[in-house]
Structure formats: C-alpha cells, structure tokens
Structure 1
Amino acid sequence: MQAERLDDGAFLISCRMDSTPDDVQSSLLDINTLLQGEEIAPPPDSIWELVVAEVLNNIVEHAYQDRAGGDILLRLRFGHERLTVEFTDFGLPMPSGMAPDGALANVDVPVEELPEGGFGWFLIRSLSEDLTYCHDGGRNLLTLAISLAPKGPHGTSS
C-alpha cells in the first residue's frame, strides 16, 4: 500500500489486493489506518467506504467468481470535497460490456419472496457520481467519484 500527499493537497492511496473477501476487508482497514489523523480525511459520516466495499465485493464475486489469485488494483484520491476512485481488475468483463444501471429490486412482494441481492448497483449508482466502465485488453476499469462535502441539516451538501 502506498500513500502520498499531492501538490494540490489531495491524499492519494494506491494498493493491490487479492480477490478474496478477507483481503478486501484487510485493505479497507489499512486504508482507514492511513487516513487517521490526515487533514484531508473524509468526515465520519461519509459513505465512501460503503461504496468502495460494494464495488470491491462485486469484483470478487462476479469478475473473479469468488476465486482467489486475482489482482485488484485500487487508487483513491481524497480531495477536500470529493473522492475519486479507480478500480482495476483482470477478471470477467461486465455483462453487455456495461456497468449495470442500478435499478432497485422489487421489494413490494411477500417477505418470503424478497430478493437476497440486487441492491448493490442501486447503492453504488445512487451514492456516486461520474461512473464510467470499460473493458480493454483483459482489463476492467471502473472509475467513480463520491462527494465528501459535509452534509447540511436536511441531508444535502452544505
């Protein structure tokens, strides 16, 4: 894991992890440790980790089909009001060559028929901005941005 302060004041963290849930969790803990005491660290109520974890878990589950031994490269650029994230993996491409649209699963059904999944892309899309995906030469590249601006009293950026 590497971390550096950039000339514009942003804090850049780059890391490589294996395609396992344990390595994803360990990497997120390491990132949080690096952020402790940093002037540019996101506010405690920030949702950045939820979004990043959901994308990483999707890469493990779908791109690598829950098989260890796949590289996941992660770059996080923490700015004063925005986090830009770049995810790179070498697993299977997304279906249709596009990131899912993130439609919310139907929850207006009896409890026993509620879906177990189908919420991840809705969550990713609704909590991030500027999401792009491409598959090129055996590599998947997903980028997105997350607002780190403090929330006002009504849940909006102040």
Structure 2
Amino acid sequence: MQAERLEDGAFLVCCRMDSTAEDVRATLTGINELLQGQEMAPPRDSNWELVIAEVLNNIVEHAYEDRAGGDILLRLVFSPDRLSVEFTDFGQPMPSGTPPSGAPVDLDVSVEELPEGGFGWFLIRSLSENLDYHHDGESNRLRLSIPLR
C-alpha cells in the first residue's frame, strides 16, 4: 500500500490486493489506518467504505469467481468533499459489458421470499456518482466518485 499527499492537497492511496475476502478486509483496515490523522480523512458518517467494500467484494465474487490469485488494484484520491476511486481487475468482464442497473429489490414479500443478494449495485449507484466501466480485453476498470460532505 502506498500513500502520498498530492500537490493540490489531496491524499492518494494506491493498493494491490489478492482476490480474497480476507485481503479485501485487510486492505480496508490498512486504508483506515493510513487515514487516521490525515486532514483529508472523510467524515465518520461518510459511506465511502461501504461503496468500496461492495465493489471489491463483487470483484472477488464475480470477476474472479471466488478464486484466489487474482490481482485487484485500487486507487483512491481523497479530496475535501469527494473521493475519486479507480478499481482495476483482470477477471471476467461484467455481463453485457456494463454494470448492473442497481434497481431496488422488492422487499414487500414474505420473509421466506426475501432475496439473499441483489442489494449491492443499488447501494453503489445510490451512494456514488460518475460511474464509468471499461473492459479492454485484459482488464476491467471501474471509476466512480463518492461525495464526502
């Protein structure tokens, strides 16, 4: 994990992790430790970590199909009011070449019929902006920004 202050005052964090849930958790813990004491640290009530965790978990589960040994690159730029994020992986592309729509799940059903999944992209799309996905034949690149204030 690398971190540096940029000329404009933003705080850049770059990470490389393995395609496992354990590495995702360790990376998020490491990022939080780096942010301690930084003036560009997001407010505690910000949802940035939820969005990052959801995207990373989707990469592990879908792009790498829960197989270890896949590289995930993460680039975060913390500014006073915005977090710009770039995710890169080398796994399977998104179906149909685009991120899921993130339609809300119907919760007006019996407990037995409640879905186990399907909430992730709704959360990602609800809490982020400027979502852009590109697959170039070898890698998947997802960029988004998260308002912090």
TM-score by length of 1: 0.93
Deviation, structure 1 residue 138? 1.4
- Residue 87 (structure 1) aligned with residue 87 (structure 2): yes
User: What residue number does 1:78 align with?
Assistant: 78
User: What residue number does 2:142 align with?
Assistant: 142
User: What residue number does 2:30 align with?
Assistant: 30
Q: Which amino acid aligns with 1:120?
A: G
User: What residue number does 1:63 align with?
Assistant: 63
Deviation, structure 1 residue 137? 2.3
Q: Which amino acid aligns with 2:61?
A: E
Unaligned stretches of 5+ residues in structure 1: 150-158
User: What residue number does 1:102 align with?
Assistant: 102
Q: Which amino acid aligns with 1:76?
A: L
Alpha-carbon distance in 2 for matches of 1:41, 1:119: 27
Q: Which runs of structure 1 show a deviation greater than 4 angstroms over 4 or more consecutive aligned residues?
A: none
Identity %: 72
1:28-76 deviation line (CA, Å, top 9, x unaligned): 0000000000011001111000000000000000000000000000000
Q: SS state of the match for residue 138, structure 1?
A: coil
Q: SS state of the match for residue 14, structure 1?
A: strand
Unaligned stretches of 5+ residues in structure 2: none
Q: SS state of the match for residue 59, structure 1?
A: helix
Alpha-carbon distance in 2 for matches of 1:133, 1:99: 7
1:102-145 deviation line (CA, Å, top 9, x unaligned): 00111111110000000000000000000000100210000000
Q: CA RMSD in A?
A: 0.5
